[in-house]
Amino acid sequence: MKINIYYGGRGILDDPSLYVVNKIREVLTELNVRVELFKLYELRNTITTLPASINDCDGILLATTLEWFGIGGFMQQFLDACWLYGNREKIAVTYMYPIVISTTYGEKEAMAGMQSAWELLGGIAAAGLTAFVNNVRAFETNPAYNGIIEKFAESVYRTTSQKTQMMPSSTQSMKKLSGAIPNMPLTPQETEQLSKYAADETYVQQQKEDIAELTSLFKGKLEKTQVDESTQYIADFEKHFNPGVVSGAVYRFDIKGREQPLILVISEGNLECFYGERSETDLRCKLESDIMDEIVAGRMTVQRAFMTGAIQAKGDIKLLRELDQIFTF
């Protein structure tokens, strides 16, 4: 028989949970039980891989120290990892014994929360051990307390080895009725491999960068296939043209990658917009297509694009300001 112990405290000196864990470990070892201790604070970067360690044990102890509120981040991360990457079929036959030693208020509530979490995962939540400790030395040297810890360890051995049947709980019943907890459509081997990748921050970051690059690539190709460059932007300028602004000028936009420039001819409150050549222009602007996209989307003004260097202009520069008045994007 094998028991895994997952310690979710911070590993500080005189942590009462560590004392309890080591005491239980001694008793179980004397009973010829193989015991493996996982200190989550030392394994913080690989917590997502730890649910795989449940696959070769008969029961687990989840031990944590309640220092101010709740079970602590490391234990919560471990339970989250069990939800995401755990083998639900193995969890369903695994006994879990919660241990919450508190230096403040709320140890019983924390234990109940851990039991509910394990039941929601489909596992078997057994009776746990809680205690409030305000004096670590007095706690460790108290014979009665040590006797309780030893009896708890013996109970863990008997319950796990005999596969004692547990009374039904409302959490398990509601889980079955709601059907809101689907199992991952992966084999245990695939789940274990996935959890290893998820724990590798370098791998995850590289995957995010690759996905972003591919998204940008395919988006660009899709836009090129869907947009008619011979008419692009014309409808935008025509739709947002403000004829009430008195102005008469010819604007030329040289958009990088386009064979012909975009010409805007404004005369007597009318607009003529087309791609082609015009011998005489009052203002000539050179810009990238993504800057033009920002302008027609209303996220950038022509004046601002010029001031930031995104537009290179030649001719009557004061007409740049008028463009933002004539076309209200």
Q: What range defines the domain where residue 244 resides?
A: 234-326
Q: What is the CATH number of the domain that holds 160?
A: 3.40.50.360
Which pLDDT score is estimated for 240?
84
pTM of the model: 0.57
149 belongs to a structural domain: yes
Q: Are residues 47 and 108 in the same domain?
A: yes
In angstroms, what CA-CA distances link 305 with 291, 324, 328, 329? 8, 11, 15, 14
Q: Are residues 6 and 151 in the same domain?
A: yes
Q: Is the dihedral of CA 154, 47, 87, 72 positive or negative?
A: positive
99 and 129 Cβ atoms separated by less than 8 Å = yes
Q: For the residues of 168-215, what is the DSSP string, one character each?
A: P-HHHHHHHHH---PPPSS-HHHHHHHHHHHH-HHHHHHHHHHHHHHH
Q: Are residues 267 and 143 in the same domain?
A: no
Q: Are residues 182 and 238 in the same domain?
A: no
Q: Are residues 153 and 261 in the same domain?
A: no
Per the structure, how many domains does the chain have?
A: 2
Could you give the 3-state DSSP secondary structure of residue 300?
A: coil
Q: Are residues 242 and 191 in the same domain?
A: no
Last residue of a domain, one of 146, 172, 198: 198
Smallest Cα–Cα separation from 128: which of 108, 144, 143, 142?
Answer: 108
Q: E strand or H helix at 73, and its extent?
A: helix 73-85
Residue type (1 letter), 247: S
203 belongs to a structural domain: no
Pairing of strands 283-287, 249-255: parallel
Q: Are residues 49 and 143 in the same domain?
A: yes
229 belongs to a structural domain: no
Which pLDDT score is estimated for 180?
46
Which pLDDT score is estimated for 226?
55
Q: Are residues 193 and 285 in the same domain?
A: no
171 belongs to a structural domain: yes
Q: Are residues 145 and 259 in the same domain?
A: no
Last residue of a domain, one of 175, 198, 221: 198
Pairing of strands 262-267, 270-275: antiparallel
Q: Are residues 175 and 241 in the same domain?
A: no
Residues of the chain with pLDDT under 70: 171-204, 217-229, 245-247
Smallest Cα–Cα separation from 101: which of 4, 23, 156, 2?
Answer: 23
In angstroms, what CA-CA distances link 253 with 30, 208, 233, 291? 85, 36, 11, 11
Q: What is the CATH number of the domain that holds 319?
A: 3.30.1050.10
Q: pLDDT tens digit string along 227-244?
A: 566 788 888 888 888 877
Which pLDDT score is estimated for 313?
86
Which pLDDT score is estimated for 271?
85
Last residue of a domain, one of 173, 198, 223: 198
206 belongs to a structural domain: no
Q: Are residues 26 and 165 in the same domain?
A: yes
Q: Are residues 97 and 159 in the same domain?
A: yes
